[in-house]
Each structure stands twice: as structure tokens, then as C-alpha cells.
Copies of this chain bind each other. A is one copy, B any other.
Amino acid sequence: MTTAIKAMLDTHPAGLGGVDREKLARCIEECLACAQTCTACADACLSEEMVARLARCIRTDMDCTDICRTTAAVLSRRTAYDADVTRALLRACAAACRACADECAAHAATHDHCRICAEVCRRCELVCEDLLTSLG
């Protein structure tokens, strides 16, 4: 999907306003992957027999889905770029990914979907922080 994301960034008439193209495309992609994986993990948890022990996991998955989805959309828009909104949202996204990575990691040994989800969330957290740092 990175190719498609970069193709759309490259054809945007407004340009990237000084934002690093590689880091931006990477962050959009990781946010989309994280939203998708968290949706799937929440639903997989729901089908586990021990679902009662996974309530916190499902909740953080749902928050992470909503926030990553929104972050990917806001980052994809380059018209009238607003650094304040972007930075505040990236901070919220990194916080949601961190919470979800921590929670899913606690179930990684028992559930493969939580193990995969923990990895994807951790990667997304780091990529959000990396983009944030590069924005200055």
C-alpha cells in the first residue's frame, strides 16, 4: 500500500509543506494497518472463551482503531496544513498505540491475534513519534 500512498502524495498540487515524504507515507500506512489490526483483534477477543479477561484489551483496541483511522485521514490531507492539530493528534495516536501495545502484549503468549496486534501497535507508536520529532 505504501506505493499507492506515495503516488497520491506525489500528485497533490499543494506539495508536502516541508514534511518528510518517507516518514509521512510510512506513518499513514502504519496508522491504517494498526486500525485494521485492532478492529480484527477486538473482534477475535470477543470470540474467545475467556473474553471476560479481555475486556480491557477490546476497549483499547476500539480506541486505537478510531484514533489511528482519524490520524491516517488527517495526515493524508495536505491542503492548508496545520502543524498544531497534526502534532496534538500524533501525540494522541502514539498514546493510544502505546496503551494498546502494552495491553495486547500481556495476552501475546495466549492469543496469536494479540501478539500480532501488539507488534503492529508498537510499530505504529514509534512511527508516530518519529514523524512528530521530524515535524520539530
**Chain B residues near A14 (CB-CB < 8 A):** 44, 47
A42 to B, closest residue via Cβ: B62
Verify A33–B4 contact, CB threshold 8 A: yes
A69 to B, closest residue via Cβ: B69
Residues of A within 8 A of B (CB): 1, 4-5, 7-9, 11-14, 28-29, 32-33, 36-37, 39-44, 46-49, 51-52, 55-56, 58-60, 62-63, 65-67, 69-70, 72-74, 76-80, 82, 84-85, 88-89, 91-92, 95-96, 99, 111-113, 116-117, 120
A33-B4, A43-B79 known; A11+B111 contact, CB < 8 A: yes
Pick from B5, B56, B117: contact of A80, CB below 8 A: B56
Verify A112–B1 contact, CB threshold 8 A: no
Verify A79–B99 contact, CB threshold 8 A: no
**Chain B residues near A29 (CB-CB < 8 A):** 1
Verify B79–A8 contact, CB threshold 8 A: no
